[in-house]
Chains A and B, each alone.
Chain A
Amino acid sequence: MEFFEAFVNMSGGSFAQHMVNGISLGSLYAMIAIGYTMVYGILLMINFAHGDIVMMACYFTFFGISVFHIPWYLTFILVIITTALLGVVIERAAYRPLRDAPKNSVLISAIGASFLLENLANYLFSGRPLRFPNIEVLSQNLSLGSVQIQAISLFIPVVTIVCLMILLHIVNNTKIGMSMRAVSKDYEIARVMGINIDNVISITFAIGSALAAIGAIMWGIRYPGITPMLGVMPGLKCFIAAVIGGVGNIKGAVLGGFILGLGEIIIVAFFPQLSGYRDAFAFIVLIVILFYKPTGLLGEKTTEKV
């Protein structure tokens, strides 16, 4: 019953504050989850390195602004481009040679790529946490009535929605989007139809990594400590978000991201004694959803062929 006590004792203002926090965390998860879901939709593999791409993008931003003193808006564009390239390079080096290999080998290669990025970051940038550059316009506090909100918390959901619109437009209305859908429907037939599979996969990785870079920049402004292991937990949670929503389904990934983000904030806000278990929440939701609906909330039902 503590839930209701906490709920009743909470003023309207702090409730609104928690909701804004939940929605902005959910949007961040959604942003990163889209990258997982797109790759899974096409290659049927978990890109374990996706969380570490987020981490790398945070370091890129740090170097752009704090070390090379490039104006922040230019840095953002450069970071998005570099991260997209990083995603493509990882695909070329770690996944393309294993296109016809057993699934477990691809999984191990993905784990290896993730582990390599973490160790590389640890080696190059040292394990000491760095502070994400402070961008006054985005990190300032706005007060709306009794609610104090960081500008970025309002900004994140807007950016996510805009990116989602653009992405859905690309996937549904353009030629490259059509080939993506074809490849994810049936890899072999798409190849027979004359689609250049390798290009489509590269573009998918580029788009997913670019979204991860945008997510990473917003993540960094919101949670400013950068460490080499930064991407691990968000990475796992965002994959879970993608699975909850139905892997391969972009809207599903967004839905899953919001469920996890809001759920986590609700746990921390209303059940403070459980806040130590915050990171366990995502995994419990994953098990429950997979148990009752193995294809996720918005996933299509598939039958296994012998």
Chain B
Amino acid sequence: MAKKRNLILTVILLAGLFGLAWYINFETDSYLRRIVNLCMVYAIIGLSMNLTNGFTGQFSLGQAGFMAIGAYAVGIFTVPVSLRPSVFYAAPMHPAIADIHMPLWLALIVGGLCAALVAFLIGAPVLRLRGDYLAVATLGFSEIIRIVITNAQTITNGALGIKDIPPLNDVRYIFAFTAAVFIFITALINTSYGRAFKAIREDEIAAEAMGIDLFKHKSLAFMLSAFFAGIGGGLYAALLGTVDPKNFLFTLTYNFLLIIVLGGMGSITGSMIGSILVTAGLEFLRIFDEPLELFGVAIPLFRPGFRMVIFSVLLMALVLFWRRGIMGTREFTWDKTIAFCKNPFGIFGRKGVDKA
């Protein structure tokens, strides 16, 4: 009964959000559309990162590399064949791929699959490592991916990047992908695989003793994470209209780290909230980059670069003072929301119970 009600509520919410996406797509200015699109793309990548870092407890910092693979798949396959000679003016494209043209959705899936394949290959040596070593090794691989892309001139146009990607500015299109990723990951977390991921996060040795194949599950989480990061990276490229190896420096990964730390490591709805707050927040912080005059006096602090200082201070403050983030490992559920609506003040009474 309650299950059916929750399902109906979820469907209504998704339909409502889709309606909102429709409205934003046609009725608002391009600036707002761009921010909403970026929020959703960041949500996809944040979710993908949460799958390894939050749910499986494997601290991976390779997201920028997997994004780069997806982004380049979109860049290589969706640029119209007629425009390619002018894009690849320094060195012509490799003949094997020069005539392949794909629609965006296919290029996204190809990019995701390529990223998953790379994750499978590097997972074998890397996932044996733990903690800090894993972080450095994945970070290293994301840099290696970028270095390979920079050097593969005839495939990726090297350091020049690929321009003239048909721009994507349809909010509904990105919304459909975000919703699909959200539903898939929510469903995955509630299967036996999801429970195995969480068991590995809590205690690897105990999980192994319970008969969970550590490597298989870690590798699966890593590949799925790479797949979604690849799709997110592809959408990111389509959104920007160009790709360039410099877009995928490993500092890009820090954005998603902030998203999942703010939202709560191991919370899907937390990642969604985190991505909205971080993306919108980064836009809002732009005012700090512009000179500000207050009562006719120019405040000297406000100049380009201040935004990122504040951003990094926020990241540090978050982890120092509010380690669990907004949601912790909890999730938004209809049952709790309805209970809250029935008795808005009850939340103060059962705070201690909630923490468990």
Q: Which A residues fall within an 8 A CB radius of B?
A: 40, 44-46, 94, 97-98, 101-105, 107-109, 111-113, 115-116, 118-120, 122-123, 126-127, 236, 239-240, 243, 276-277, 279-280, 282-284, 286-287, 290-291, 294, 304, 306
Distance between B226 CB and nearest chain A CB, rounded to angstroms: 17
Distance between A14 CB and nearest chain B CB, rounded to angstroms: 25
The B79-105 residues at the A interface (CB cut-off 8 A) are: none
Chain A residues in 8 Å Cβ range of B148: 277, 280
Chain B residues in 8 Å Cβ range of A282: 140
Query: B313 near A116 (CB under 8 angstroms)?
Result: yes
Contact with A along B287-318 (1 / 0, CB 8 A): 00000000000000001011011011101100
Distance between A276 CB and nearest chain B CB, rounded to angstroms: 4
A294 to B143, CA, bound (A): 22
Distance between B193 CB and nearest chain A CB, rounded to angstroms: 22
Which one of A44, A113, A236, A291 contacts B136 once the chains associate, using CB atoms below 8 Å?
A236
Query: A290 near B135 (CB under 8 angstroms)?
Result: no
B265 within 8 A of A: yes
Q: Can you name 16 extra interface pairs (CB under 8 A) apart from A119-B311, A283-B137, A283-B143? A: A45-B132, A46-B135, A101-B323, A105-B319, A109-B320, A111-B315, A116-B312, A120-B312, A236-B143, A243-B133, A276-B147, A276-B150, A277-B147, A277-B148, A280-B147, A306-B205
Distance between A121 CB and nearest chain B CB, rounded to angstroms: 9
Given known A101-B323, A104-B59, contact A116–B309 (CB-CB < 8 A) = yes
Query: B150 near A115 (CB under 8 angstroms)?
Result: no
Nearest opposing residue in chain A for B61, CB measure: A111
Distance between A139 CB and nearest chain B CB, rounded to angstroms: 30
B151 within 8 A of A: yes
Chain A residues in 8 Å Cβ range of B141: 283
Q: Which B residues fall within an 8 A CB radius of A?
A: 53, 57, 59, 125-126, 128-129, 131-133, 135-137, 139-141, 143-144, 147-148, 150-151, 205, 251, 254, 257, 261, 265, 303, 305-306, 308-309, 311-313, 315-316, 319-320, 323
Chain A residues in 8 Å Cβ range of B144: 280, 283-284
Nearest opposing residue in chain B for A305, CB measure: B205
Most chain A CB inside 10 Å of its own CB: which residue of B53, B254, B320 = B320
Distance between B81 CB and nearest chain A CB, rounded to angstroms: 28
A108 to B324, CA, bound (A): 12
Query: A123 near B316 (CB under 8 angstroms)?
Result: no
Chain A residues in 8 Å Cβ range of B319: 98, 105, 108-109, 112
Query: B205 near A304 (CB under 8 angstroms)?
Result: yes
Chain B residues in 8 Å Cβ range of A306: 205
Distance between A126 CB and nearest chain B CB, rounded to angstroms: 8
Which one of A46, A104, A294 contacts B128 once the chains associate, using CB atoms below 8 Å?
A294
A284 to B137, CA, bound (A): 9
Distance between B85 CB and nearest chain A CB, rounded to angstroms: 24
Most chain B CB inside 10 Å of its own CB: which residue of A111, A282, A284, A286 = A111
- What are 10 A-B interface contacts by the 8 Å CB criterion? A104-B265, A112-B319, A115-B251, A119-B305, A276-B151, A277-B148, A279-B147, A280-B147, A286-B136, A306-B205
Query: B140 near A115 (CB under 8 angstroms)?
Result: no
Chain B residues in 8 Å Cβ range of A122: 305, 308
Nearest opposing residue in chain A for B203, CB measure: A306
Given known A115-B315, A123-B306, A294-B128, contact A279–B254 (CB-CB < 8 A) = no
Chain A residues in 8 Å Cβ range of B265: 104
Chain B residues in 8 Å Cβ range of A127: 305
Query: A123 near B309 (CB under 8 angstroms)?
Result: yes
Nearest opposing residue in chain A for B122, CB measure: A287
Distance between B155 CB and nearest chain A CB, rounded to angstroms: 14
A216 to B126, CA, bound (A): 31
Chain A residues in 8 Å Cβ range of B323: 101-102, 105
Distance between A154 CB and nearest chain B CB, rounded to angstroms: 31
Query: A123 near B254 (CB under 8 angstroms)?
Result: no
Distance between A231 CB and nearest chain B CB, rounded to angstroms: 13
